[in-house]
Amino acid sequence: QVQLVESGGGSVQSGGSLRLSCAASGYTYSSYCMGWFRQAPGKEREGVAAIDSDGSTSYADSVKGRFTISQDNAKNTLYLQMNSLKPEDTAMYYCAADDSVKECMEWWLLPGVFGYWGQGTQVTVSS
């Protein structure tokens, strides 16, 4: 049973930083795609960043240069370092994973390709 547990959310002022973590358990696949998504009230869930088992990364245009996705395989943990936060970054952030996405870097923006999701962690950025 794969479980993803996010942490690290909180409230910060515009320009501040946060680091989100996603602890994965029951996940032993050698080939995988993992990503961060976010959903603001009244809006659709959108992809923020993704990383595959080769270490390739991809980012949404809205966060390029500000957010960094990384992983610690020894700790089975996925991270999202968020710098220069803006009020429009306010949302619930979710960790997602899957082992059957053939072209992770091509399809990761589609939430439907991920089979496993965490419960989310709230990020609020005030101006």
Q: How far is CA 32 from the centre of its chain?
A: 14
Task: Output the CA–CA distances (angstroms, integers) from residue 114 to 11, 33, 50, 96, 98, in the order listed.
Answer: 28, 8, 11, 6, 5
Distance CA 26, CA 108 (A): 21
State the maximum Cα–Cα separation within the chain, in Å, rounded to a whole number: 42
Supply the pLDDT for residue 73. Answer: 86
Q: What is the pLDDT of residue 55?
A: 92
Tens of pLDDT, residue by residue over 46-67, are 999 999 999 999 999 999 999 9
What pLDDT score was predicted for residue 31? 75
- Given a cut of 90, whether residue 1 has pLDDT beyond it is no
Mean pLDDT of 1-14: 96
Rg (alpha carbons) of the chain, rounded to whole number: 14
pLDDT in tens, 56-109: 999 999 999 999 999 998 888 999 999 999 999 999 999 999 988 788 999 999
Segment 100-103 long-range contacts (CB within 8 Å, at least 24 positions apart): 101/32, 101/33
